[in-house]
Amino acid sequence: MNTYALTDSWTMTRRELAHWARQPVQVLVGLVFPVMLLLMFGFLIGGGRGVQGEYVDFLVPGMLALTMAFGLEGTMLQVTQDLNKGVIDRFRSMPMTNGAVLVGRCAADMLQSAIGLAVLIGVGYAIGWRAHAGAGEFLGAVGLLLLFRFAMLWIGIHLAMVAGKPEMVQAVQILVWPVGFLSNALATPETMPDWLGTVVEWNPMSQTATAVRELFGGPGGEAGHVWAAVVWPLALVAVFFPLAVRRFGRLSR
Q: Shortest CA distance to 28 belongs to which of 74, 84, 79?
A: 74
pLDDT at 85: 76
Judged by average pLDDT, the poorest of 98-107, 141-150, 193-202 is 98-107
Half-sphere exposure of 170 (CA within 13 A, CB side): 3
Number of domains in the chain: 1
Q: What mean pLDDT do residues 134-141 have?
A: 93
What is the model's pLDDT at position 1? 46
Window from 132-146, 157-171, 206-220 with minimum mean pLDDT: 157-171
Residue 23, burial from CB neighbour count under 10 angstroms (0-12, 13-18, 19+): exposed
- What are the distances in angstroms from CA 1 to CA 14, 36, 103? 20, 45, 16
- Cα four-point dihedral sign 172, 71, 212, 103: positive
What is the domain extent for residue 157?
A: 2-249
Taking only the tens place, the pLDDT of each residue in 4-18 is: 667 777 777 877 777
In this predicted model, which residue has the larger pLDDT, 208 or 35?
A: 208
Q: What percent of the chain lies above the pLDDT cut of 70?
A: 90
Q: What single letter denotes the amino acid at residue 53?
A: G
Give the pLDDT confidence score for residue 68 in this predicted structure: 93
Residue 19 has pLDDT above 90, yes or no: no
Counting Cβ atoms within 10 Å, is residue 212 exposed (0-12), middle (13-18) or buried (19+)? buried
